[in-house]
Each structure stands twice: as structure tokens, then as C-alpha cells.
Chain A
Amino acid sequence: MKHRFFILLEYTLIILHSLVIVLIIGQERLILPPILEVTGRMHPLLLHFPIVLLIMAVAMESLISDHIPRQIRSHFLLITVLLTGLTVAAGLILSFEPGYEYDNIKWHQWTAIALFWLGSIWYWTIDQKHLLLKKATPLLLVVLVIVTGHLGANITHGENFLLEPLKTKSVDNLSFEEALAFDHVIKPIFEQKCISCHKASKQKGELRLDEIRFIQAGGKSGKSISTENPEESLIYKRIHLSKEDEEHMPPKEKAQLTEEEKHLISAWIGESPEINQKITAYPEESQFAQLVKNKIEQAKATSYPFSSASAQTIKNLNNEYRLVKALTPQSPALEVRFFGRKEFQSTKLQELKKVQEQVVSLNLSYMDLREGDVKTLANFKNLESLHLNFTGIQGPWLKELKSLKNLKQLSLSGNPLQDEDLKILADFEKLEKLFLWQTEISEESLKAFQRSNQKTSVITGFQGDGTAIQLNPPILEYQNVIFKEEETIRMKHPISSVTIFYTLDGSEPDSLHSERYTDPIKIGKSSEIKARAFAKGWIGSSDISTHLFKARVKPENASLSFPPDPKYSGNGAATLFDLEKGDDDFASGKWLGFQSSPMEAILELDSSTEPRQITLSLFSDEGSHIFLPESIEVWQESQGGNWQRIHLDKPKLAEDYMGKRYHSKTIDLDTSVPVKNVKIRLNPLSTLPKWHNASGSKGWVFIDEILID
């Protein structure tokens, strides 16, 4: 007894058969309610059921029929056939929509109908013992499922969808000379991304993109290209719309055009798209031809005779001091760079054995290489670019590299190569660029080599344009500006070929009369040190100078007769003896400033310490109205209590703004008598000179230390 439900289903099957027959006969003459149109569009969803269920049903009947009760098998087959019928009906309804040409879907349609009918026959005759029916029907059904499915897929995905990966893509292995604009450049793009919807069998928007004449003809929305106004072309506009736009092409759920493809299509539209001409026929300035050329070159450059190394291998080889990565995304070729001279060892290079086939670019510059490393390099047969700048590589080792037949670029700068080593370098046939500066090879040899090896361009780098330029001054290093007994001074220069000459008395050093610096100098008294650097091929540097002060003795007592200006008063007299040098921030408190009154300091010295000299440390910055004093006076108290002037001088008046500068002035004391009280007087400039912008007003005097030796 059949369940009532299945009887109902059997009736439905009969109704479906009638519907399919009506649809076949009626075709597009039928006016369908919208609900049926929706059913039609469900075709792509429904079609998966019959494919799976039919194959399962066949398997159940032919292979495992003994294990499954007859009734279940029968019910299963009924459901299968019903869904097949539903799919067929939906397909027929869908085919009535515009864009589907009968010619292109007829085979799919009829194999599907055959499938439905044969399935139904099978269901109704399943209990027959007829052998042919029992054996042949399932077999035929399976064949029909596969054929129908494949034909259907061709309609939606494009005719070559399935086997596409096995084919080679046209433009990439064509030469630039052979390539045709539409056939080899544009059509392959359309085939990949557009034609599944715009072709003879499926003309969405009544547009076909498989031939130039159809593209020119355009579709429902109008002409697809406009040669007069390329940017108004429909194709151009649609592919450049935002992806979210309804009108954007290809639809956002489909594979998108790459930037490069968009560029190509846009350029093509702009340059006589109606002719399928050779790329070489385009004018020289053509952007399209240029893009195609790049594309072809890129394809060539990225085709290698080896396969990729595994991602895991590459990952394992990467560490902080060795970078291994694909030359370009998706390329099997690898580039390798080494970092950190101190970390480099021969084993780090040997570890690359696993990828020695894939490495095409290797940069070992600045690593310390040994002969053995160069031997290892010979195993990287596919190397195209090898950088060995400043690696200490020696000429004879280069022989090892001869087996690198693919080498296009070789950098050997900064290595002790000799003239005769050029012979080896002449043997690299494919070498395009050879970097050879800062070697011991003579200029003449390099020129001769370049003449006889036209194919290779030799980069010999900047040699200097013959004009000598001035060195920068040496660097003076010392611990303290003010010292008690002795100070050591070191002189340095970043260029190793430099010789430094110096003086200790403030006179100009030169390379003839002055002392040559070899070892650190010990300074035992207040001095002005000046030094200059000289080197062959350079103009000698300007001088650099520094003042070092000896402060052996501190006064017992010191006082100022007039207070310093309140803004620059520091700690009063104590500031002058704190042994702390001021810097160019004269308001830092380390300097005392005087303008309206002179600086007059009275020092009380202990004569048993035998003071011999006084050094004054001064500052000038004309822009800030700070000048050297108009006059410097030193007085010494004689035994009788009378003040005697032992020194008077008038420093030279500055003639222009000279910037911030430091000065020192050393004055000998009268040691014929025991030295006790000393008075120092600095008189500020009474009127600033005419050239000064504040001419007429009073000058400033700044002093930070008085040092006694």
C-alpha cells in the first residue's frame, strides 16, 4: 500500500510532465505570471539536486539495492525525478528571458528534458524484470547528467571554463612583434572576465564582447565604445564606476578587472579600437603599445624554468640577518639579502642550498667573504643579479663564478681587484651591468674593457671631477675646559688619509711650520689650541680652536666693586671662580654681564701658592651688543699698599657682526714681589660703533671665569 503522500507526489509528477510539454510547445508565446519567472530564476539553485540525487539513485539501484528496502528506493527515485522535472521546468522558463539564444542552449535543454523523461520511465518501470531496461537505463542516466551539467556550466561560466587552466594564455608567450591588439591583448581579458555574460549564448544587456564588430554595435544601453570621446565610452565608464554601483562591471560578485587590465582597456579604447592591428603598428608614443610592451616583458621576466620552493622552506630560511622572499608576488624566483656584517658566517650561505635553484638575486654586500663562500655561490645556477660590493673578494676567486651563465648584473665595487681580473669578467655572456668602482683596476684598463665588451655597461662611479674641495676641520677631544694640573687633548678626523697640524699659542697652524699630530698632547698651562687637517687631493681645512684653562690657584677672597646687571648676575663674584665654563647661552647664570658699570674684581691671593698668571674668559656676540671690553686693566698691590697698574690694553674693536665667540686673555703678574691683592677692571664699550644697528648706546661685557695659575 502506498502512503497517501507519495500518491500525491505521483500526481504532481504527471502535472509536471504536462507543464514541461506546454512550455516546450508554447515557448516564448506564453505569458507567464511573475511568480513563475521567480521559479525560473531558481534554476541555478535547483539544478544541484537532480545532479546529486540522480547519481545517488543510480548507485542505490545498481550497487546496493539488496541492502535497502524496495519501497524506500522507489520513494527516493520519485523525489529525484520530481526535482529533475522542477529543474527542467524552471530552466525552460528562464530560457524565455532575454539574453538566451535558442541555438546556444538547445543541447542543454534537450539533454535535460531527455533526462527527465528517462528518469520518469525508469520510475514507472522499476519493477519490470526486463534486463536491458534494468542495466542500460541507469548507465544512460549518468551519462546524461554529466553532459547536461557540463553544457549548463558552459552557458554560465564560459565555454572554456573547465579546461582553461590547462591552456596557455595567449599574450604572455607571444612576442611583441606578433601580438594583435584585440585578439591577443583585449580579447583574453574579456574572455576571462566578461564573456561569460556577453557572448553569443548569453547576451546580457544585448551586448556581445567576443568580436570587435559586436563591441562596436553595442547593446541595449547604446554603443559601448566611442572613438571620438573615449572617456564617454560605456565600457570605460562601467569598469571605472565604484564597485558598489549597480552599473559597475563586472558585477561585484564576479571576478574583477585588475588595475592593469583597466589601464589596458582604457588605453585601447582611446587608440583606434575598431582595428585589430599589430601592436607594432601603433605610433611610438602610444600608451596602449607601451602598456602591452611592459606586460609582455613582465611575463617574460617572470617565467622561469623552475618551480617555487615551498612556503615553509622559505619561511624557515628567513631570519633577522637573512631575507628570503619572492622577487615579485607569485613568482617562483627568490631574492636573498644578508644583513649584519658581524653575524655573517659561511654556513649562513650554505643553508640556502634548498633554494639554490630558485635564487635569482643575491646581495652579500658588506659581508666578509672567503674563497669557500665564492665556491658555494657557483651552485646558484639561476642567479641573474649578484651583489658583492665591499666583501673583500679577490680577483682569482672570480673564476668560481664562471658557471653562473645567467648573470645579468654583477656588483664588485670596493674590492681589491686588479687589472688582470678583468679577463675573467669578459666571459659572462649575458652580463648587462657590471659595477666596478673603488677597485684597484686602472682607469685605462676599465676603458679598454668597456670598448671590447660593448654588451656590458661598466659602471665606474664618481671619480671626483678633478677640482679639489676643502676638508672639514679636525675634531678636538678633551675632558675639561678648565683643569688643575694637566689636560690631555686628542685630535681626530673622519677621513683616514688626513694629517693634522696644530699650534698651542693661538697662531695659525700650517703644514710646514706647525707640529704634526701623532699622539695625544698633554697641556700644562692655559692655552689656545688651533688645528687644521690636510690630505692629498684636498684643500686644507679651516682651523678649529679651543681654549683650555689652567686654574691652579683659587683666591682666598674675591669681591666685585660694582654689582653685575641684575639679569646676568649669577652668584656674583663666586661665579667667576666656580671653574664652570659658560656656553653660548649667556643668560644661563654662568656668565656675568656688565653694561652701566665696569667689571671690577678685587682678588685676595695667598702669596705662598705663587700665583704667576691670570686668564680671563670672555664672550662676544655683536648682534646681542656684547663686545670685548674697551680696555682691560690689571692692578697689583705693592708691598707698600699702593695699587700699581701692571697691565693695560685695548682689544681690537669688531668691525662687523661676527656671531657668538669665546675669547681668552692671559696676563702675567709681577712675580718680582710676593703677589697678594690683584684688581681687574674691564670697561664696557662706551659707544657701539657706527656700523652697529644700536650705534651710540653702551656695549656689554660678559665674563664667566677668572683663572689663576
Chain B
Amino acid sequence: MEKEQLEHGLQHNRRKFLSKLSLGIGSLALGSLLIPDLFDRKKAEEEMFAALPHFAPKAKRVIYLFQNGAPSQLETFDYKPLLKKQMGQELPESIRMGQRLTGMTSGQSSFPLVGSYFGFQQYGEARAWISELFPHTAGIVDDICIIKSMHTEAINHDPALTFFQTGAQVGNRPSMGAWLSYGLGSENSNLPAFCVLLSRGKGNGQGVYSKLWTNGFLDSIHQGVQFSASEDPVLYLGDPLGMSRSDRRKMLDKLAELNHLSFEANGDPEIQAKIQQYEMAFRMQTAVPEVTDISNEPDSIIKMYGPDCLIPGTYAANCLLARKLSESGVRFVQLYHQGWDQHDNLPKEIVGQANDVDQASAALIKDLKQRGLLDETLVIWGGEFGRTNYCQGKIEANNYGRDHHPRAFSIWMAGGGVKSGMVYGETDEFGYNITENPVHVHDFQATVLHLMGIDHERLTFKHLGRRYRLTDVHGEIVKDILV
């Protein structure tokens, strides 16, 4: 731990390193030996930022509607009539090909195929199959690009989520929103560049943790700021009772004076960052109530998102808030809707989950479109992996369940530089393996960065002796889905 702290200090500021070692010239030499680019670091970083964005961005902002718990692709966008035909029959080993199982079905002696209990229909120019659970999504099919060939490396929720968000299954790496905040900054300096909104459906849920929106080794200003459904959307932002805004101003001015003194004395740049953060919080005190107030939204907007959007903390309310935040220049809005983990009781639970998200997700697309913002906003809808084509537990007349499946699942993307009215990738008849155009999580991340005007190989941060990036050492841009 101490070693890491030292290293962290070194990363931040050479002056501190030199003074800590108190060896004058000796430590200077030692420092440059231990960390060869100690003195180049700032320059290298400046050069990297000067080149950003690397090319003209197609999207300026991202809204990521994360469906936490992993919605089944077989009840949403991947229509597999064969599963219905072969209901109850064993999954052939030629298809499974030794795929590892989770602890939840590893004890199961049989893997009976189960088809969707919900009907599918084709919609739009692309004749995309969409399940009857998503009538509103079917209505915007010509505005979205459905990717049916996503695959991931993790098979359990936490590593899979972490992988999607940070590019690595272990924690401590910066989240996608943090990388974008680091690379592109905020458009509106009165609001955080990276905001996080949580909601929870009635279905079987999986937790979300702040490590999913962490800044990792990046500066703490890049961390996602969680908005809560309570009266204080951003915790600890409001002034205590009896404190007026002018009092707060005076207090901050005085504090800044002291901080400047301290900065002059030891030159730690973290102090400057702190002063800026206080100032931003002060501006957020007016900006946040303005952006979270929905009382001025016209009836037509409320009806579009559905009346749930008036209840703080629901997915619909978060979609509406996401639109407002994005419209106000927030670079990355991350939503999580929990409750998609249907190991059991799938037919009942998925109806509720789909009800929660279908109308509001579609409304978000329509709303952005009618504001002329869809062209510059990238919207992503999807979970962390897919679900098995065989039943977990027993198939009953009105009940079945599906386990985790990393080999193939569906997501959709819309707006900001993504082709619309398109279905990309294909899976086999069993909906188990990808047969065409696989998209790995790193490919997806590279594509998102590309749309934002960033070459994923060039947005890096040096930490513990090596350069890190969101896509680690992988990632191919999915060119076929770009406009």
C-alpha cells in the first residue's frame, strides 16, 4: 500500500517526490532513473490533449441505458423459432462446445431447450424481429441499430459489468464515462461531465457499485456523480439551513485564499483541483435544481415517457433526466436499471422489466430526435451478457428460467454516427453461438470512442509503469455500423 501511495504521488507531481525524498540532486537523479519519463510526463500528456479530439466526432454525448442483470436476447431481439420447435429437447453438445457453466446450472444433469413464450414480429426497413414485450421499441426500429452478435469474456454479473464499463474484469480501472471526461472534458462546467442514475425494477436484481463509475487511476474529477431520487439529487450539495448563498460565497473565497497560500508553499496541483471543485459545486447549487426540475416539461413530453417519469427514481424519470442532463451538455449519462436476472420466473418478471423500460427508452430517442439532438447523441441500450437457450430448472406451463450466457447477446445503439434501421450480426438457429460479425466488448468500446472523435489506441494514461487505455490492448472499430 505504501509503495502504491508513493507511486501515486510520483505520478502526480515531481516536486512532491523530490521534497519527500529530501535528497536534492541525488533524488533528482534517482527519480529520473526510476521513472525515466518523470520529466517528460507533462509534455507527453499535453501533446496527447492537444491532439484531441483525434478527428471530427460524430457524437458529442453518450447516454448509456444499462440493463443490469442481463436481459435475455431470446425474449427481446434474437428470434429463434427452432427453440420453440425443439422445446424440452437436449441442447446438442455440438452447439455447446464445452461452454463453461455458472455455479447455478453446473449441477443440472439436463439442458432442455426452451423457446420464448412471447411472440415476435418484424418491423421497419430492416425487417428486424422484435418481441411483443417491446411495442414502443418496435416503433423506433428505424432509428436504431440492433447488434445481435455481442459477446463477452465474463460469465458472472460483477466481472461482466466491470468489463463492459472499464474494459477489464477486475476493478480499479477508469469507467468509460471517466475516460471520456478525461479525454474530452465537460461542455458545461456547471455540471459534472459524467453523471450516474440508478433505478430498480421488480425482477430479480443484481447490485451496482460505485466501482462501475469510478475514475480509477485518473484524477478524481472524472468520477461519475450519482444523482439520487431524493429531494437532494446530488448528496451534500445543498447549503445547511440558515446559510445564505452570499455567506457560502464569502466562505469559499476565504477558503480559496488559504488554499492558494498552501499551493504557493508546496505547489501541489491537487490543491488547485480542489479549489476548482469547490467552485463547481457552488455553480452546481443552481445548475442542478434547474436541470432536475421537470415541472416545466410539457404534457406531451410527460405522456411520451409515461406517467412513471413523474416519480423520481424510476427508469422513466431517469430517462427524462438523462435527456435534460445531456441537453445541458453532460458528456456521459450512465443509467442502470436493475432486475433483469431471470434465472427463474422469467415469463412473469420480464414482462414487468420490459414495461419499466420500453416506453421510456423509445421516448428518449423520440425526444432527442425532435430536439435535433439525436444526430449528436449516442444512445446505447443493453446488458452485460445474454442468457442461455436452455432452461434453468424445470420448464413449466407458465414458468421457465435462463442462466448466464456470454457467447451471444443483443444490444441496440442509436444516434450519433451509428447507422439507423439496421440489424448487425447473426447467431445460429439455437441462438447460442455467433455465426456472423461478432462484436467483442472491446470492439464496442473502441467504436463508442471512435464515434466521440477519439482513437481508442491514443487515449492513454500512464500508471504503475505502463500505459492504460479503455480497450487495453484490444478492440477493432465496428466500421460496418458507422454512418
Task: List A residues at the B interface (Cβ < 8 Å).
Answer: 258-260, 263, 298, 320-321, 323, 328-329, 337, 339-342, 365, 387, 389-390, 409, 411, 413-414, 433, 435, 437-438, 459, 461-464, 469-472, 493-497, 537-538, 541
Contacts and interface: CB of A to CB of B under 8 A. Distances in A.
Nearest to B295: A494
A459 B368 CA distance: 12
B187 interface: yes
B310 A495 contact: yes
Interface stretch (B6-14, B36-44, B71-79, B286-294): B286-294
B242 interface: no
B325 to A, nearest CB: 12
Nearest to A414: B298
Interface in B184-216: 187-190
Contact of A340 (B57, B286, B311, B372): B286
B299 A495 contact: yes
A121 to B, nearest CB: 51
Contacts of A493: 310
B290 A461 contact: no
Given A323-B329, A462-B304, A339 B188 contact: yes
Contacts of B188: 323, 337, 339
Contacts of A464: 299-300, 303-304
A351 B327 CA distance: 24
A409 B376 CA distance: 14
B370 A496 contact: no
A133 to B, nearest CB: 54
Given A328-B57, A472-B311, 12 more contacts: A258-B55, A320-B283, A323-B188, A328-B56, A329-B453, A339-B188, A339-B287, A341-B290, A342-B290, A462-B301, A472-B310, A495-B302
Nearest to B56: A328
A321 B190 contact: yes
Given A321-B190, A411-B371, A495-B302, A472 B307 contact: yes
B467 interface: no
B240 to A, nearest CB: 20
B483 to A, nearest CB: 8
B371 A413 contact: yes
A327 to B, nearest CB: 8
Nearest to A467: B303
A323 B191 CA distance: 13
B371 A337 contact: no
**Mostly helix, strand, loop or mixed at chain A's interface?**
loop
Contacts of B299: 464, 495, 497, 537
Interface in B354-376: 363, 366-367, 369-372
A409 B372 contact: yes
Contacts of B286: 340, 342
B455 interface: yes
B370 A435 contact: yes
A45 to B, nearest CB: 26
B171 interface: no
A337 B187 contact: yes
Contacts of B295: 494, 496
A705 B306 CA distance: 38
Contacts of A463: 300
14 contacts: A259-B455, A260-B55, A328-B56, A339-B188, A340-B287, A342-B290, A387-B372, A414-B298, A435-B370, A435-B371, A459-B372, A462-B363, A462-B370, A470-B307
A337 B290 contact: no
Interface string B265-301: 0000000000000000001001100100011101111
Contacts of A323: 187-188, 329
A341 B327 CA distance: 13
B265 to A, nearest CB: 28
A147 to B, nearest CB: 38
Contacts of A414: 298
Given A433-B372, A494-B295, A298 B56 contact: yes
A340 B290 contact: yes
B87 to A, nearest CB: 28
A435 B304 contact: no
Nearest to B305: A462
B308 interface: yes
Given A337-B329, A494-B295, A469 B307 contact: yes
A472 B307 CA distance: 6
Contacts of B347: none
A472 B308 contact: yes
Given A329-B55, A341-B290, A462-B366, A437 B372 contact: no
A437 B53 CA distance: 34
A459 B306 contact: no
B372 A411 contact: yes
Interface in B289-340: 290, 294-296, 298-304, 306-308, 310-311, 327-329
B439 to A, nearest CB: 18
Nearest to A242: B457
Contacts of A329: 53, 55-56, 453
Contacts of B363: 462
A139 to B, nearest CB: 46
A463 B370 CA distance: 11
Contacts of A461: 300, 370
Contacts of A411: 371-372
A150 to B, nearest CB: 33
B479 interface: yes
B53 to A, nearest CB: 6
Contacts of B366: 462
Nearest to A267: B479
Contacts of A339: 188, 190, 287, 328-329
Closest 7 CB pairs of A and B: A328-B56, A461-B370, A472-B307, A494-B310, A339-B188, A462-B304, A320-B189
B479 A263 contact: yes
B256 to A, nearest CB: 15
Contacts of A263: 479
B242 to A, nearest CB: 19
A321 B286 CA distance: 12
Nearest to A436: B370
Contacts of B455: 259
A518 to B, nearest CB: 19
Contacts of B453: 329
Contacts of B306: 469
A435 B55 contact: no
Given A320-B189, A337-B187, A340-B286, A469 B303 contact: yes
B355 to A, nearest CB: 13
Contacts of B371: 389, 411, 413, 435
A252 to B, nearest CB: 15
B365 to A, nearest CB: 11
Contacts of B190: 320-321, 339-340
A198 B354 CA distance: 60
A442 to B, nearest CB: 15
Contacts of A437: 300, 370
B318 to A, nearest CB: 15
Contacts of B296: 390
A437 B328 CA distance: 19
